[in-house]
Amino acid sequence: MSSVKKLAGQTLWYGLPTIASRFLGYLMNMALPFIFAQPSVTADLTQVYAIIPFLSIVFTYGVETAYFRYSNEKDRTALYNTLSLSIFVTTILFSVLLYIFRGSIAGAAGLNDHPEYIIWMLGILFFDTLATLPFARLRQENRPKKYAFVRVAGIAVNILIVFTFLGILPSYAKNNPDSFIGTFYSKDVGIGYYLIGNLCGSLFTFLLLWKEWKQIRFNFDSALWKEVMNYSYPLIVVGLGGMINDMLSRLVYQHVVDLPKEQAKHELGVFANIYRIAVLITIMIQAFRMAAEPFFFNRAKDEDAPRTYARVMKFFVIACCFLFLGIGLYLDVLKWILTLKSKAWGEGMNVVLLLAMGNIFLGIYYNLSVWYKLTNKNMYGAVITIAGAVVTVLLNIVLIPKFHYWGAAIATFSCYLLMMVSSYVLGQKHYPVPYARKKIINYLIVVTILVVLHKLILLLYAPLWFSILTGTLLLGFFTWLVVQVERKELQGLPYIGKFISAR
């Protein structure tokens, strides 16, 4: 249990800044319905942010995971120098190539009206990529305070710029057109200030990590680089497949849905907003991964490592269940908030729960993936991800034209379900872990039943206050259930344990 307590503590250290930064960014994106009345205005921005993760996988080519994998076996200084030099050279090369073909990229993405978005996007990718290994080093060396400060500071700059240029300056410039401050604002940029804010935040983050870059020495170990690349290249396939599964629905939505251009942009804007609600779960997943990835590698040689991984999985699923209930039981509240400016933003909210459960499956898959990373069988991960990508592509193309939001949600849910089950079956053959399978399945079934029960109750009486009251009671019931079942283990956890009394 001590190892689980340590992971819980690390997840709080690394997770809280990640949650804070991602949640601040999440709130900034969720502010779109309050700034723009029509979802179609946000379609091009959605398109850009659907492209960035794909390119990020290529730019980083698995070096972060490889750094954790080899940092306990190789000389860390040599490893850091070699990988840093590698990623610096390739980042410049990829950026130059994409800049040369920026026009073609804009045309393929349907961004001909805003080619400047591609340039800003490349700037974001450039600085975010160069920050990858310094962040990994901070995590590996257990330096959470600087990690937290840099993460939060970068997103704070991002938010400050976005809200200044979209929330304050528009009205100020309108009332004071000849003022000096008003000259900084251009109405034509519009939602593009989201990208400018992101670019400034990424640049500021890189500057705060400058000390980590100054420590790099021109000491490139070609033999070490080849060994690391042999390990990491399947992770590129895994990453690209994962991005297909995560982002494809938003990338292709307006291109495959059988609607006029403006209506297609409207639905893309709405669906992207729907997806942001489900992403609440992935914020927690990302926070967990910040601590879990180095933790898994560091514990790999322990005799009781499989049991530790099983405990981690159980508590991870419990945390996801609480998030699922938080979304499902208070969905009416979220809808009410999002539709204050325009009712158009409330479309398709009924698919949120399917997307949320699909994202829980994705989180479970990330936990399960430890088996192929620890056993150097990354090609299995690539095969699983490719299989999921095939399902995603086929279902999106077939279902979106017919079922619109539901089609995209079904594709996401089916893909992550397939990946989760496949990884579990293969993992138990190559690296058996005694997961609490029955408990995990039962928890997922219980939270699904509670959300369905809540919906049925609201069919009889549906004022917002009653929805909140009944939702809170059902959430309280699940909390009580978890405490009864997991009392002994919960008492051993940091922070939480002191609130759990003995029987």
Average pLDDT of each block of 10 consecutive residues along the chain (503 residues)?
A: 50 55 54 60 76 86 82 82 91 93 84 85 93 85 79 86 81 75 74 88 92 83 86 76 74 78 78 73 64 55 74 85 90 78 72 89 86 78 85 89 88 92 90 89 95 92 90 94 83 62 58
Give the residue among 203, 122, 146 at the shortest CA–CA distance from 13. 146
pTM of the complete model: 0.69
User: Helices 405-430 and 378-403: crossing angle, nearest 10°?
Assistant: 160
* pLDDT at residue 1 in the model: 47
CB-based contact 312:434 (threshold 8 Å) = no
108 within domain boundaries: yes
40 within domain boundaries: yes
- Domain that includes residue 462, residue range: 2-494
* pLDDT at residue 200 in the model: 93
477 within domain boundaries: yes
501 within domain boundaries: no
* pLDDT at residue 374 in the model: 75
Here the tokens at position 297 are: 């590698």
499 within domain boundaries: no
386 within domain boundaries: yes
502 within domain boundaries: no
500 within domain boundaries: no
Here the tokens at position 343 are: 């009712």
**What is the three-state SS of 261-303?**
HHHHHHHHHHHHHHHHHHHHHHHHHHHHHHHHHHHHHHCCCCC
* pLDDT at residue 159 in the model: 84
State the Cα torsion 396-398-402-407 to the nearest 10°. Answer: -30
Cα distance between residue 410 and residue 120, in whole Å: 33
Domain count, the chain: 1
SS3 36: coil
